[in-house]
């Protein structure tokens, strides 16, 4: 493993994140979570596992725990990983299978991507949510218009939004 200190693991989407989430009744998921605990212990990777107060969904705990920082490159299996870009990170959701190999030297297979800059001007009318804004952007560039391309979304409408989504 290239840099175990630069990795964090969590059993998200498979286990509940509330109090008492340590118990897992589904045998297959229980084995997966136990295997994750064993592997991270053997490799020296930090685990936010069941029962750990830091445990949760990866695209939430990254910012909460201060792991998501401006300028870092962040890859994860979760499709919501790109949301870390709101904190200035370069973030890719690459799928669970591919993320299981990204800690190997040179295994990411990523080329430097082109950057799509999107500027949202004007004012956001009352009742128009952050989701409405992004859906309007998607309607303009089409669902596949930016596939594999990091987006830098900026402008006065974006600047006026709170981190929680305005």
**Grouped pLDDT means (10 residues each) for the chain, 166 residues:** 80 68 71 89 89 85 90 82 84 72 58 76 91 88 71 87 72
Please report the pLDDT score of residue 121 as a whole number. 93
Q: Hey, how many other C-beta atoms are within 10 angstroms of the C-beta on 125?
A: 7
Alpha-carbon distances of 106 from 100, 103, 150, 166, rounded to whole Å = 13, 8, 20, 39
Listed in sequence order, the residues at least 6 apart from 120 whose beta carbon sits closer than 8 Å to its beta carbon are 133, 137, 153, 154, 155, 156, 157, 158
pTM of the model: 0.62
> In which element (H, E) is residue 63 found?
helix 58-64
Burial bucket for residue 48 (CB in 10 Å: 0-12, 13-18, 19+): buried
């Amino acid at each position: 493993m290239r840099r175990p200190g630069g990795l964090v693991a969590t059993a998200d989407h498979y286990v509940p994140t509330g109090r008492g989430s340590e118990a897992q009744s589904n045998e297959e998921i229980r084995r997966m979570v136990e295997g994750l605990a064993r592997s991270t212990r053997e490799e020296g990777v930090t685990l936010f596992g069941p029962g750990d107060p830091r445990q949760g969904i990866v695209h939430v705990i990254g910012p909460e725990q201060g792991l998501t920082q401006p300028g870092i490159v962040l890859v994860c299996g979760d499709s919501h990983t790109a949301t870390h870009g709101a904190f200035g990170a370069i973030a890719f959701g690459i799928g669970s299978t591919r993320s299981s190999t990204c800690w190997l030297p040179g295994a990411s297979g990523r080329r430097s991507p082109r950057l799509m800059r999107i500027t949202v001007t004007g004012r956001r009318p009352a009742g128009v949510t952050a989701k409405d804004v992004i859906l309007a952007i998607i309607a303009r560039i089409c669902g596949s218009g930016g596939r594999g391309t990091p987006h830098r979304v900026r402008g006065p409408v974006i600047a006026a939004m709170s981190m929680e989504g305005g």
